[in-house]
Amino acid sequence: MTEHRADIFISGGGIAGQVSAAAFAAAGFSVVMADPFVPVTTANEDKSDLRSTAFLRPARQLFDRVGLWPHLKDHAKPLDQLAVIDTTGWPPEVRDRRVFRSDDMGDEPFGWNLMNWVVRREIWAYLQNQPLITPLYGTGFRSMVQRTGEIIVTLTNGDRVRARMGIAADGKFSPLREAAGLTVSTTRYGQKSLAFTVTHDLPHGNISTEIYNEGGPFTIVPLPDMDGKPASAIVWMNKGPRAVELMNMDVAEFEDVMFQRSTGLLGRMHLEGNRSVWPIITQTADQLVAGRVAVVAEAAHALPPIGAQGLNTSLNDVIALLELAEADPSALGDPAMMKAYDAARAPDIARRARAIDLFNRVTRSGDGVMQTVRLLGLKAVHDVAPMRKRVMRAGLGPH
């Protein structure tokens, strides 16, 4: 048995845990990060995360600040515009199209899209050489004792970690959150999303596109070219049974259905690699702190994949916690700091969860009245300039 001592213990070595470790180490805090699984860093392994993330401006600023962006920028595709297409029926018939432009909000793109497995690979390599970080992959959280000035964590291999603060970044079913006694509220929609990568005939022009229809949006997010061909990441939301049907469909039939669902926007789309399927829920922690433990990312909130809010909201948690720690390093994990973190993040998380829940209910509906509401809402948000800018500013986050 080894006993580790650190300022911070992080449970979870996914993207949120990795970024948390990098950020706190860059601020001078020592970190032990534990995850029961070795990271999957190729696209073709069964457990590879084939989703992509459009990292918005606050996330990019964080990556710059802690030294991660040089490792990620060559794999990123800027997002200059967001197009929203409203369709009805099958094959989908286009009723309206609106484009939101990043230059409405300044000189930079809305965000930069990267494949999740690539992000994990690049940050994993970065973490290996950071003296303040002890990454323990293949070893997970088992139990915890909270004391007045520290937490004592036991890992699955028998090691112990003594730390001033714990961060639960270990997903929807967070064992550290559960050990801290924090509860969650969950909404289920009966939906699943498919995530996969395609090449296509026509260039995407750095435009991210959401195509609404019954079941949820079909989202096309630009990627760098693959073998000289334009490429995009797709997130396709559907009712659960339809998603499973699409997941198991042979490739030729799947590509035909995908061509119809995309309204032929980018020509024929060709599946590259595997498909993965993910359940759609809204889940929020009823509190964000307990003693010296704070929850972040999907341990704090799991949201439907709409508007690039999921992982970006997660990184806003990390930013808020980091800023509080930097403001008074001697008070790391103390009650006042933990209370301030809950106060800083809980209202924003609640607002985003409510907004995305409502948006998902409207965009997935096949009901004629709801589809009319969807169309009118799209026109109102886009066509009134102050409202358009307010919505885009809210989407980018609090920083």
Q: Work out the mean pLDDT of the chain and round it to a whole number.
A: 88
Q: Is the pLDDT at 395 greater than 60, yes or no?
A: no
pLDDT band for position 381 (cuts 50, 70, 90): very low
Which band of pLDDT confidence, cut at 50, 70 and 90, is reported for residue 175? very high
Burial class (CB in 10 A: 0-12, 13-18, 19+), 259: middle
pLDDT at position 297 over 90: yes
pLDDT tier at 52 (50, 70, 90 boundaries)? confident
Cα 162–chain centre separation: 29
Q: Looking at residue 310, what is its pLDDT?
A: 73
Most confident option among 31-45, 203-217, 280-294: 280-294
Per-residue model confidence (pLDDT) at position 372: 52
Residue 326 identity (one-letter amino acid): E
Which pLDDT tens digit goes with each residue over 340-362?
999 999 999 998 888 888 777 76
Write down the pLDDT at residue 324: 98
Using a 10 angstrom Cβ sphere, with 0-12 exposed, 13-18 middle and 19 or more buried, the burial of residue 159 is middle
- Residue 391's pLDDT band (cuts 50, 70, 90): very low
Residue 1 has which token pair? 């048995």
Tell me the one-letter amino acid at 77: K
109, 105, 153, 135: which is closest to 24 by C-alpha? 135
309 vs 398, higher pLDDT: 309
pTM metric for this prediction: 0.88
C-alpha to C-alpha distance for 259 and 38, rounded to whole angstroms? 36
% residues pLDDT > 90 (the chain): 64
Mean predicted confidence (pLDDT) in 150-157: 98
pLDDT at 306 over 70: yes
List b or e across 18-51, with b for residues whose CB sees 16 or more CB atoms inside 10 angstroms: bbbbbbbbbbebbbbbbbbeebbbebeeeebbbb
**Distance (Å, rounded) from C-alpha 231 to C-alpha 73?**
17
Decide: 223 and 115 in contact? Cβ < 8 Å: yes
* Confidence (pLDDT) at 351: 86
Residues 6+ apart with CB under 8 A from 263: 85, 87, 92, 94, 211
Q: What is the pLDDT of residues 2-42, one digit of tens each?
A: 999 999 999 999 999 999 999 999 999 999 999 999 888 78
Spell out the SS3 assignment of the chain.
Answer: CCEEEEEEEEECCCHHHHHHHHHHHHCCCCEEEEECCCCCCCCCCCCCCCCEEEEEHHHHHHHHHHCCHHHHHHHCEEECEEEEEEEECCCCEEEEEEEEEHHHCCCCCCEEEEEHHHHHHHHHHHHCCCCCEEEEECECEEEEEECCCCEEEEECCCCEEEEEEEEECCCCCCHHHHHCCCCEEEEEEEEEEEEEEEEECCCCCCEEEEEECCCCCEEEEEEEEECCEEEEEEEEEEEHHHHHHHHHCCHHHHHHHHHHHCCCCCCCEEEEEEEEEEEEEEEEECCCEECCEEECHHHCEECCCCCCCHHHHHHHHHHHHHHHHHHCHHHCCCHHHHHHHHHHHHHHHHHHHHHHHHHHHHHHCCCHHHHHHHHHHHHHHHHCHHHHHHHHHHHHCCC
Q: Are 298 and 16 in contact (CB under 8 A)?
A: yes
Q: Give me the percent of the chain exceeding a pLDDT of 70.
A: 89
pLDDT at 369: 44
What pLDDT is stored for residue 363 in this prediction?
66
CA angle 310, 58, 230 (to 5 degrees): 70
The pLDDT tens digits of the residues spanning 307-340 come to 666 788 899 999 999 999 999 999 999 999 999 9
Are the beta carbons of 222 and 113 closer than 8 angstroms? yes
pLDDT value at residue 56? 83
Query: Strand pairing partners for 10?
Result: 33, 167
Is the pLDDT at 50 greater than 80? The verdict is no
